[in-house]
Amino acid sequence: MAKSYHKLILSYALCCFSALFGIQAEADVIEFSVDELAAETVLPVFEPSVSVRDRIVAKSGRFELGLGGGISLNEPFYNPQNLVGNLTYHMTEVHGINLSYTHWLDGLSSYGTQLRAGQGFPAFDPSLAPSPESLIALNYQNTAYYGKISLTKQTVMNLSIYGLAGLGAVGLSREGGYKIGAHAGVGQKVYFTPSLAFRFDLRFFAYRGPDPTTLDLDPALPPPPPDSFGQDFFFNTLLNLGLVYIL
């Protein structure tokens, strides 16, 4: 009933158009009826209930390349600054595989420098011990949240929050070789464009390796062999910033 009625009206509306054309007026001031504005907090029913369609940032089946830098938050002796590179393949919008490479810059931290100079303590040169100089990790990445944020009336940026976990190999300086370690982290990306995003992440890696404090590292003596150090468990925290580009 309603259908055929509508069909008639469709024709009617079309026929009336010619007559009405030119009579349209006013309406430069927008008046949204309050009745028409959102009042319900419930969601429409769709099966399955997908929170977003036609994503601006579509990652599924695409590679993502990232570059950035950061610091180790709990590194006492060595230069905490590092450079990071990431390559991620997104199997779906949620699941991905991430390969990350972190390279620490040479040198000592300010505390390490003071220790080497013997300020207040007997001189202790951490640079004579094997220290982490790179970390390569293969991770599973899960994008748990995709949303958007509006900072100004016309500016909306998409964002995502992800977690990652995997295994990695920590490369040690002074021929210390590689140590297997666990790697995990959480992060957030804020997209400037559908392909380009600012990446911020907090990562943790743990490994068992040589402990510089198990030997007296006198700056005047040659470096001891790597296997002469006692072994200990290290838990490092990395804070990184960077840019990612979806290829």
Partner 1 sequence: MNRGHLGKLLLILMMCPVAAFASAEQELSQVLAQTQRGNPQGRQAPMGQDVLAQALRLAQAGNYKDSSILLFQLSYSPRFRSRRNQIRYILGLNLFQMNLNQVAAFQFISVVREGESRYLRQALEKLSLAADNLGDDTLLNYALGRVRVDDFPRIHRDMLSYRIGEFQLRNNQFVEAAQSFSRVQRTSPLFAKAKYLQGVALTQANQLPQALRSFEDLFDSRRAFGPTDPSRVAAQMGIARVYYQQRNWARAIDTYRSVPRDTEAWHDTLFESSWAMLRSGRFRSALSNFHSLHSSYYEDFFIPESLLLRSIVYLYICKYEEMEKVLNLFNQIYRPVYNQIDRLLDSGADPTAFFNDMVRIIRDKKTQGEEGSSGSYQIPYLVGRRILREGDFQTSYNYITRLLEESRRVSQMPADWREAAIGQYAQRILQTRIARARERAGRQVRAHLESIKLELFDLFEQEGFIRYEMISGKRQAIQKRIAGRDLPQTQIDQATRRDYYIQNGFEYWPFRGEYWLDEIGNYHYVGTQSCD
Q: Residues in the site for partner 1, rule: CB under 8 A?
A: 1-3, 5-7, 9-11, 13-14, 17-18, 20-22, 24-25, 27-28, 30, 32-33, 35-38, 40, 42-56, 148, 150, 152-154, 156
* Nearest to partner 1 of 43, 247 (CB atom): 43
* Nearest to partner 1 of 5, 121 (CB atom): 5
Helix/strand/coil for 116: helix
Residue 138 phi/psi, 5-degree rounding, is -110, 125
* Nearest to partner 1 of 17, 121 (CB atom): 17
Q: Cα angle at 55 between 54 and 60, to 5 degrees?
A: 105
* Nearest to partner 1 of 21, 121 (CB atom): 21
Least separation, in Å, of the C-beta of 54 and partner 1?
Answer: 5
How many Å apart are CA 102 and CA 20, to the nearest integer?
Answer: 69
* Element containing residue 101 per DSSP (H, E): strand 95-104
Say if residue 47 is exposed, middle or buried (CB neighbours under 10 Å; 0-12, 13-18, 19+).
exposed
Least separation, in Å, of the C-beta of 149 and partner 1?
Answer: 10
Least separation, in Å, of the C-beta of 142 and partner 1?
Answer: 21
Least separation, in Å, of the C-beta of 191 and partner 1?
Answer: 11
How many Å apart are CA 78 and CA 115, to the nearest integer?
Answer: 11
